[in-house]
Structure 1
Amino acid sequence: MAKLNFRKKQNTSYEDPSLRAVKSEIIKAYFAEATIEEVEVESRTEAVPEVYTVVAGDTLSGIAAKKGTTVNAIVKSDSRITQENKGRLSIGQKITLPTQSARREKRKKMNFTTVSSGCIRKELYVIVETKNFSGYKLTIKVIQGKEKCLAEVGQFVSVKDEYGNYGYVITATVGNMCESEYINKDEFRDLAVAKIAIDTDDKDKMKEWREALDCVADKKTNLCLQVDAHAVEDQQDLNIIYHGNAEKREVKAQKAGNVWLDVDGEWFKIGKMPCRCYQDLDFEEVSGVFKDASDSKKKAIVEEFNRSYVTKDGSTKKLYEIFELDTCLKRAHFFAQAYVESRSNLSGAFKGESLNYSVSALVSGYPFSCFKKNKSLMKRAYEIGRGPYIYYEEVIKWDPNTNEEITVKKKVEIPSSQRADQKAIANIAYDDNNRSKSFKLGNINEGDGWSFRGRGLLQITGRTNYTNSQRIIDDLIPGSGVQLSIGVDEFSAKEAVFAGLVDWFEKECYRESMKGSSPSHVDAVTAKINVATKSYDDRKKAFLNTKKVFKVDECSSS
């Protein structure tokens, strides 16, 4: 008869013939990359029973759409309606609606793909497959294999966890993904998933790593994984079988049973970053773009891009990682746009866009058509635009020959000394009352045009855009400390960077940017930033420079 003894209560035991010993198993451990896709699913919710009264013009399909259900569901819920008579409704007819309503919604699905190689500092996942071990913890370590490189042979290699902590041991719980938001989370019940990067916060050690990788074959070194469930407190006595696949290979100073090569029984290869992808932005790069900006502004921009934040899911990431500016090609596209939007001295990013428009520009209708289409606003353009300008106005005068009033044109000369009233231009041009339906900005209060004029590296404009940008920031980084939506008069470096990055992220420019570096690819990104702009050529010219600054042609990721 099977007998169960309790370790913490040594005088207590339990016997039962139905008891059987269950052995936990650590089956596989390997590196992987993750992809997240959106899938559309149908969800059902219980509703309070409702009786609907048919009115003139109603159809069953129209009622179903109005109430968030389907025709078939209504037919099933009301016995008086059949497939034969469902098209013959009468005014005043009572219809019992279904208590369950179905709706389509988008959910996220995560998939893991095994990888046999990677590079230092790049995000990876370690997947550990287990059996009968859900809810337990285990430790994961990365081991240097075959030859000395990142560490001595058989020694542990420094890693960074998803929270930004550096060390040599990662602890993960089997089934930890089951608490996530992903629709397929139950598939991970027997998996321990850990997000890591082969990385160190020691600059001298990182330099040693790079130099060491330059000296090994193919500039890549061999690593493997050690997984240990017995190293966790209160799990020392668990009955666990390890299926490590490194038994026939030399893993110095380690017991081979809990050590894994990759899924094909080969060493995992790690190399240097192929370029500056995934690395911090530096001062020289920013200086190569904004050549007329002060050093203090450029340094502040660099610091903000490279600052780390805790995201909504609790992980710690650099700002450029969060907002998808983590490759050479993406950066070349982003900064080409930022150069044109913010100008070479970065004045647009901090103080806001230049609205120093001449009268001639305003009445021409570009970039603001309201001054051309509206006669009263055209008159205002004469008052608030920059001179010089000559126009003719109609005046009424008395004609002594006919003893009647006549209308004549009078020449009016606006002097070159007249300066543009930029605040007035903004408050008129960006007022929703003066904009077509498809170009409204949410500026409904007096002064909104100036308060929410274009600012930041990519010049977000309008109360709605400021508010949406703030919502995205708060959702991704709850503790950012940024408040774009209040419409301050001048941006700080932090606000300028956040405003630019969130615009880039919201419009998914990063997806377009990764398609290539041809002029048509630059135009595609420009269209997402400002489709109506006349500066397409300027942005293509700027990209020729940023492409060199970020060494896109030398980047193996581009």
Structure 2
Amino acid sequence: MAHRQGLTDLDAKSGASGVDSSVGACVGDCPRCCAKVTEEQMRTIFSSASATKITGVTQAFNSAFEKFELNRCLRKAHFFAQIQQEVGASISVMAEDLHYREAGLLKNFEYFRKHPEEAKLYGKTDEHGADPEAIGNRAYADRNGNGNIESGDGWKYRGRGFIQITGKETYQNVQNQIDARYPGSGIDIMTNLESTLEPKGGMISAMAYWRWKKLNDRADNGDTGEHVDKITDIVNYYTHTRAERRANFDTTKVVFKVAECTNRPK
């Protein structure tokens, strides 16, 4: 009941909060497609985040959403449904820690299935803790543009950010999008990997990833659970949280008034 009350309050206040204030020329006639997001909207989506994080996320998105063409109500709803699942209601942005148990390494990574003795050596057992750096360098070696085990790329380019960017090639492709679409942003995730854990760097790199993977096109296809799943296939194919992402979208499509949008693709 409290959750639905929050949405009702948001809807009642949206006219006064600036949600309908266009920040640029829109395709179509919906005044909300190119409107900046508000802190009210972000508080509804990230219900337990601190005021500082809400402000940071709001400002970061508003600085760049038109550059990455997140300028339709439906695109915003799909984007934030995924981000909400990746960082949680409190916006807890973390790097992949890789503290796997031996059994987890054998289940999740081909390298360790081929080298089970190393799963026991580096994974957590009853005798010792995990060695996450050694795990990352083996699990992600020679994948997604990473070098071999000795290069250290697997650990260096492990998953980070509002959408978990993983692998040197992925980091570089995301940075290429930032450079092309938002020059002067001050964000360089290749030289400052940890910037993906901060509100501005995390949000902008997630938007760049979204544009690079052409997820706006998928978002434009519709507003059913099946459409959410097709985006999840790209963001996190192996996740066990498909139902949660669909539930998130049930919230975000109300937050962004998708049903009222007059600029939905036919």
Classify the TM-score, shorter chain: 0.7 to 0.9
CA deviation after TM superposition for structure 1 residue 292, in Å: 3.0
Question: Identity over aligned residues, as a percent?
Answer: 34
**Counterpart of 1:477?**
182
1:384 equivalent in structure 2: 123
Match of 1:539 among 228, 232, 245: 245
Question: Given that residues 178 and 208 in structure 2 are in contact (C-alpha distance below 8 angstroms), is that contact kept between their aligned partners in structure 1?
Answer: yes
Shift of 1:306: 1.4
> Taking structure 1 as reference, are residues 343 and 421 closer, same or farther at Cα in structure 2, changes over 3 Å only?
farther
The answer to whether the Cα contact below 8 Å between 1:353 and 1:453 also exists between their aligned partners in 2 is yes
Pair 1:488 & 2:244 matched = no
1:123 aligned to 2:25? yes
Which runs of 5 or more residues in structure 2 are unaligned? Answer: 1-20
Aligned counterpart, 1:305: 61
Report deviation, 1:550: 2.2
Match for 1:554 among 225, 239, 260?
260
Structure 1 547/441 Cα, relative in aligned 2: closer, same or farther at 3 Å?
same
Q: Which residue of 2 aligns with 1:453?
A: 158
Residues 339 and 359 (structure 1 numbering): CA distance in 2 closer, same or farther, change over 3 Å? Answer: farther
Residue in structure 2 matched with residue 324 of structure 1 by the alignment: 69
Residue identity matched to 1:328: C
Contact 1:292 1:345 in 2 (8 A): yes
Tell me, yes or no, if structure 1 residue 342 matches structure 2 residue 79.
no
> Contact (CA 8 Å) 1:509, 1:525: kept in 2 or not?
yes
Once the 2 structures are TM-superposed, how far is the Cα of residue 419 of structure 1 from its aligned partner?
4.7
Structure 2 residue matching 1:464: 3-state secondary structure: helix
Match of 1:513 among 219, 243, 260: 219
Aligned to 1:391: none
Select the residue among 415, 425, 428 that pairs with 2:138. 428
| 1:217-262 CA-partner distances (Å, limit 9, x unpaired) | xxxxxxxxxxxxxxxxxxxxxxxxxxxxxxxxxxxxxxxxxxxxxx
Q: Is the 8 A contact 1:426 1:450 kept in 2?
A: yes
Cα 1:361–1:498 change in 2 (3 A) is: same
Q: Measure the CA separation in 2 of the matches of 1:345 and 1:553.
A: 27
Residue 514 of structure 1 deviates from its aligned partner by 1.0
SS in 1 for 2:66: helix
Alignment of 1:387-426 (within 5 A): 414=126, 419-426=129-136
Distance 1:361 1:544, change over 3 A: farther
More helix, by proportion: 2
- Alignment partners' CA distance in 2, 1:301 and 1:120: 19
Q: Are 1:384 and 1:424, in contact at CA under 8 Å, matched by a contact in 2? A: no
Mapped contact 1:338–1:458 kept (Cα < 8 A): yes
Query: Which has the larger strand fraction?
Result: 1
Q: TM-score, normalised by structure 1?
A: 0.40
Query: Is the CA contact 1:325–1:331 (under 8 Å) kept in the aligned structure 2?
Result: yes
Secondary structure (helix, strand or coil) at the match of 1:306 reads helix
- Which runs of 5 or more residues in structure 1 are unaligned? 1-118, 126-270, 308-318, 388-413, 433-439
Cross-structure match for 2:17: none
Alignment of 1:277 onto 2:30? no
Greater relative CO (CA pairs within 8 A, separation 6+): 2
Q: Summarize the Cα distance change of 1:346–1:430 in structure 2 as closer, same or farther, 3 Å threshold.
A: farther
Give the whole-Å Cα distance in 2 for the aligned partners of 1:280 and 1:345: 21
Using the TM superposition, give the Cα deviation of residue 124 of structure 1 relative to its aligned residue in structure 2, in angstroms: 6.7
Residues 422, 501 of structure 1: CA spacing in aligned structure 2 closer, same or farther, 3 A cutoff? same
Is 1:523 aligned to 2:229, yes or no? Answer: yes
Q: CA deviation at 1:557?
A: 2.7
Q: C-alpha distance in 1, partners of 2:99/2:163?
A: 19
Q: 1:478 to 1:489 in 2, by over 3 A?
A: closer
Match runs of 1:13-412 below 5 Å? 123=25, 274=30, 276-307=32-63, 319-348=64-93, 351-363=94-106, 365-366=107-108, 368-380=109-121, 383-385=122-124
Q: Offset of 1:121 from its aligned partner?
A: 5.3
Give 1 or 2 for the bigger CA radius of gyration: 1
Residues 290 and 447 (structure 1), Cα distance of their counterparts in 2 relative to 1, 3 Å cut: farther
